[in-house]
Amino acid sequence: MTFAEKTRRLGVCYYPEHWPREWWADDAARMIAMGITQVRVGEFAWSRIEPESGRFDWTWLDEAIDVLDRAGLAIVLCTPTATPPKWLVDAMPDMIAIDAVGKPRRFGSRRHYCFSHEGYRRESRRITRAVAERYGRHRAVVAWQTDNEYGCHDTVLSWSPAALAAFRRWLSERYVDIDALNAAWGNVFWSMEYRSFDEIDLPNLTVTEANPAHVLDFRRFSSWQVKEFNREQCLILRESSPGRDLTHNFMGFVTDFDHHDLAEDLDVAAWDSYPLGFLEQFWFGDDDKHRYARQGHPDVSAFHHDLYRGVGRGRWWVMEQQPGPVNWARYNPAPLPGMVRLWSLEAFAHGAEVVSYFRWRQAPFAQEQMHAGLLRPDRVDDVAALEVRETAAALSHFAVDSSTKAEVALIFDYQAEWMTAIQPQGAGFSALRVCFEWYSALRQLGLDIDILPPAAELSEYRMIVVPCLPVIPDTLVDKLRAVEATVIYGPRTGSKTGQFSIPRNLPPGELQSLLPIKVVRVESLREGLVEPGADFSVSRWFEHVESALPPELRLHDGRGVLFRQGSHRYLAGMVDPGTLHKIFRQMASEVGVGIRDMPEGVRTRRFGKLRFVFNHCAESRSIDALLPKDAALLVGMRELDAAGVAAWIDDGIRK
Ligand code: GAL
């Protein structure tokens, strides 16, 4: 193995339990021949590991691990807790999660458990210990994945009796005194006051909306339960499998629990990247859905790469990379030829240590039989296999100098997304979406971005953007006062207290000490309703601001949209993308951060001394304007093919 292969690796998700034993050795040899050096195994295999309560069958997994090891593959083993077997569910039927309308979520797929169920927690620890003790010190096992995609299929919130009991306990520890809770939640409103913690229900099935403070605390509690569940597994794995990396595969656009918080117990964050499925399933318009149907939105993978680099405190992997059509979106097109290579190289350029494909071979049976793999069900290479080989050949470029530190920090907080989901005030308003839109605007200017939680160290950044952060922790205000960066805050930032109320001094609350403005009224605007300014417009959201500061941007009727004091700016509405660009461009020039205007669908990323360019278009694009005159391309061409990747040595000097 070369140094680059050791630090940047390709992996694959493999299910030996799905295939005849006679195929395993051939599969392993073909993985190695393809340039794959790591294999993830076991996340759904509980019924084969323990076919009946207490009766373990290790023979097949012993053999599979040995076969993979002998071929030279490193193994990422998983705890199988995302798929509790039938005998277990039958033995404790109340371990099943209950949905918001009170219906149990049945056995017959996966993730059918409630995080608060003590019995299931015990089972999760028991099976984790069993697998960890069996294989924890095996030389081939280099890492562990806990469970699989916490939160996927809407599984964080459970409205079960177990969740209710645990929520009451959590509340009584947090508030101690019921009057403190009544005051914090504002329960005098609508006579919602409680006399004891035992009177509190879960916030579902109410006649009209439940108290947002109640819902927010339930979400905080539920997020904490996921963290605790994960932590219990981590403690066991650390003890029985010392020195191995612990990771979890987070799912893209799943925000129901705080990933920053959970990752404190991990060594590496991993995420599952399905660019075509995400484009189809999320808020993108029809234009984008057509234009990028076979490539994915140019910023979605990058957004997650930059998010999970922060979640993993620098260390992160792509655990599952889409290799072809998936089965779960409304429509499931095939990627453009070259996209699997582009997605893989893009992840490495953003600093991934591993890109691992889901899955080795398409399964001809059960739920995911329409989901492509690297191999077809008949064992012949599928389209992506060639692109994996090409990616492996390009790994040598990712050599020693691997710094990916960005100049721009974007602050994202999971709680912000919960708050805008609980009280959107305008249909579809989402803190995550605002963060994504600002991120996308910055990426179109060729900027590299670190997405960070509010608690992060910010002193080294030259530009800081806070797109939508309703609760501003006090420590953040102090940090922002001290930075030398230029900073901008977006709508709804500082608009709430930690208990989901409007701050006494009105929004943006504590931020008023950095920027003397007061938001006195907010309005949401239905699609098509715009508030015009001279050469810009505001849509979807607008805030009425009182301030002695003269606005830097104002609507035709004189109302201010952009306010500035020193290096701090506040944007009081959702402006069109061109205006967002102008604002960011101005901020960048004030602090000497270089802008590179990206041709449509083209994006760039610096990796150490290398500058990468990715063409997410279905047509070729000239990248001449981005290249210094004397730059020699290590990869790609000046006329970059559809799905093409280019890279050159960038000494940081603009010529
Ligand atoms: C992921 C999951 C995998 C598989 C894949 C299909 O969400 O972790 O097990 O279901 O999606 O795209």
- The ranges assigned to domains in the chain are 7-96+109-152+225-397, 408-591, 602-649
Amino acid at 196: S
Helices 21-34 and 383-394, interaxial angle, to 10°?
A: 50
Which of 254, 358, 362, 370 most suits a substitution to test ligand 1, by most atoms within 8 Å of the C-beta? 358
**Among this protein's residues, is 320 annotated catalytic?**
yes
Dihedral in degrees, nearest 10, Cα atoms 163, 166, 170, 173: 160
Do the beta carbons of residue 36 and residue 12 sit within 8 Å? yes
The predicted structure's pLDDT at residue 152: 97
3 — pLDDT class (breaks 50, 70, 90): very low
Please give the distance, rounded to the nearest whole angstrom, from the Cα atom of residue 483 to the centre of ligand 1: 41
Query: What is the mean predicted confidence (pLDDT) over 235-246?
Result: 98
The Cβ of residue 518 has, within 10 Å, a number of other Cβ atoms equal to 14
Known catalytic residue at 149: yes
Nearest-atom number in ligand 1 for the CA of 149 is: 8
**pLDDT of amino acid 403:** 75
**What pLDDT sits at residue 655?**
36
> Which three-class secondary structure string do you get for 302-361?
HHHHHHHHHHCCCCEEEEEECCCCCCCCCCCCCCCCCHHHHHHHHHHHCCCCEEEECCCE
Residue type, 201: D
**DSSP type of residue 619:** S
Of the residues 123, 320, 407, 510, which is catalytic?
A: 320
Which 3 state secondary structure label does DSSP give 482? Answer: helix
Place of tokens 């799943």: 254
Q: Decide whether 7-96+109-152+225-397 matches 408-591 in CATH topology.
A: no
| CA 236 – CA 242 distance, rounded (Å) | 10
Other CB atoms closer than 10 Å to residue 592's CB: what's the count?
8
CB 53 within 8 A of CB 126: no
* Residue bearing the CA closest to ligand 1, atom 12: 326
Mean pLDDT along residues 313-334: 98
Mutate to test the pocket of ligand 1, among 14, 278, 368 (most ligand atoms within 8 A of CB): 368
Between 184-188, 379-383, 629-633, the lowest mean confidence (pLDDT) is in 629-633
Question: Can you name the CATH fold of 7-96+109-152+225-397?
Answer: TIM Barrel (3.20.20)
* Tens-place pLDDT, residues 169-211: 999 999 999 999 999 999 999 999 999 999 999 999 999 999 9
What lies within 8 Å, CB to CB, of 460 at 6+ separation is 405
* Residue closest to 612 by CA, chosen among 396, 345, 298: 345
Nearest to 210 by CA among 187, 182, 237, 181: 187
Task: Read off the pLDDT of each residue in 287-292 and give the average, rounded to a whole number.
Answer: 98
User: Residues with beta carbon inside 6 Å of ligand 1?
Assistant: 148-149, 152, 251, 272, 274, 320, 326, 328, 358, 368, 371
- Residue 644, burial from CB neighbour count under 10 angstroms (0-12, 13-18, 19+): buried
The residue whose CB lies within 8 Å of the most ligand 1 atoms, and thus the one to mutate among 44, 152, 320, is: 320
Element (H, E) at 167: helix 161-175
Q: Percent of the chain, pLDDT > 90? A: 95
Question: For residue 4, is pLDDT > 60?
Answer: no
pLDDT reading at 266 higher than 60: yes
Joined together, the tokens standing for residue 206 give 């109410």
Element (H, E) at 524: strand 518-524
pLDDT, residue 585, reads: 98
| Other CB atoms within 10 A of residue 196 CB | 9
**Residue 391 predicted with pLDDT over 70:** yes
Mean pLDDT for 152-173 is 98
Residue 401: pLDDT band (50, 70, 90) is: low
Of 62, 72, 61, residue with least CA distance to 28: 72
Return the amino acid letter for 224: W
Contacts of 50 (CB under 8 A, 6+ apart): 56, 57, 85, 127, 130
Question: What per-residue confidence (pLDDT) applies to 650?
Answer: 85
Reported in sequence order, the residue ranges of 49-174 that DSSP labels E, i.e. its strands, are 74-78, 141-145
SS3 of 24-76: the string is HHHHHHHHHHHCCCEEEECCCCHHHHCCECCECCCHHHHHHHHHHHHCCCEEE
Phi, psi of 232 (to 5 degrees): -60, -40
Residues whose CB falls within 8 Å of the CB of residue 504, separated by 6 or more in sequence, listed in order:
none
Closest CA to 161 of 201, 218, 101, 213: 201
Could you identify the atom of ligand 1 that is nearest to the CA of residue 274? 12
Q: Is the four-CA dihedral 46, 48, 54, 58 of positive or negative sign?
A: negative
Which of 482, 460, 342, 483 minimizes the C-alpha distance to 406? 460
How many angstroms does the Cα of residue 199 sit away from the middle of ligand 1? 40
Rounded Cα distance, 128 and 232, in Å: 9
Using omega within 30 degrees of 0 as the cis cutoff, is the peptide bond preceding 51 cis?
A: no
**Ligand 1 centroid to residue 557 C-alpha, Å:** 51
Spatial CB neighbours of 481, under 8 Å, sequence gap ≥ 6: 513, 514
pLDDT at 2 exceeding the cut of 70: no
Q: Residue 14: what pLDDT?
A: 98
Cα 521 to ligand 1 centre (Å)? 43
| Spatial distance between the Cα atoms of 147 and 204, rounded to a whole number of angstroms | 27
Nearest CA to ligand 1 atom 6: 326
Architecture of domain 408-591: 3-Layer(aba) Sandwich (3.40)
pLDDT class of 400 with cuts at 50, 70, 90? low
- Cα–Cα dist 126/84, whole Å: 12
Report the DSSP beta bridge partners of residue 531.
538
d(CA 100, CA 226): 18
Q: What is the mean pLDDT of residues 411-436?
A: 97
Give Dmax (Cα) for the chain.
77
Which pLDDT band holds residue 27 (cuts at 50, 70, 90)? very high
Residue of 43, 123, 149, 531 with catalytic role: 149
pLDDT for 333: 98
CA Rg value for the chain = 25
Class of the domain covering 602-649: mainly beta
Tens digits of residue pLDDT in 269-281: 999 999 999 999 9
**Mean model confidence pLDDT for the chain:** 96
Flag whether pLDDT at 142 surpasses 60. Answer: yes
- Distance, in Å, from the CA atom of 48 to the CA atom of 173, rounded to the nearest integer, reads 41
Give the per-residue pLDDT at 6: 58
pLDDT digits (tens, 9 = 90+) for 87-138: 999 999 999 999 999 999 999 999 999 999 999 999 999 999 999 999 999 9
**Category of 575 on φ-ψ map: left (φ > 0), alpha (ψ -120 to 50) or beta:** beta
| Confidence category of residue 404, pLDDT binned at 50, 70, 90 | confident
Q: How far is the CA of 209 from the centre of ligand 1 (A)?
A: 33
Residues recorded for the chain: 655
Ligand 1: distance of its center to the CA of 299 in Å? 21
Cβ neighbours of 240 (radius 10 Å): 19
Enumerate the β-bridge partners of residue 606. 611
**What is the structure's pLDDT at 477?**
97
What is residue 6's DSSP assignment?
H
Sign of CA dihedral 348, 351, 354, 359: negative
C-alpha–C-alpha distance, residues 348 and 433, integer Å: 25
φ/ψ of 249, rounded to 5, equals -95, 100
Return the pLDDT at 652: 61
Give the C-alpha separation, 540 to 526, whole Å.
Answer: 6
CB 128 within 8 A of CB 233: yes
Closest residue by Cα to residue 274 from 317, 332, 315, 338: 332
Cβ pair 266, 246 in contact under 8 A: yes
Give the model's pLDDT for residue 398.
81
Among 51, 161, 148, residue whose Cα is nearest residue 95? 161
CA separation (Å) from 203 to 159, 207, 209, 422? 9, 11, 9, 11
pLDDT confidence of 412, banded at 50, 70, 90?
A: very high
- The pLDDT tens digits for 559-594 are 999 999 999 999 999 999 999 999 999 999 999 999
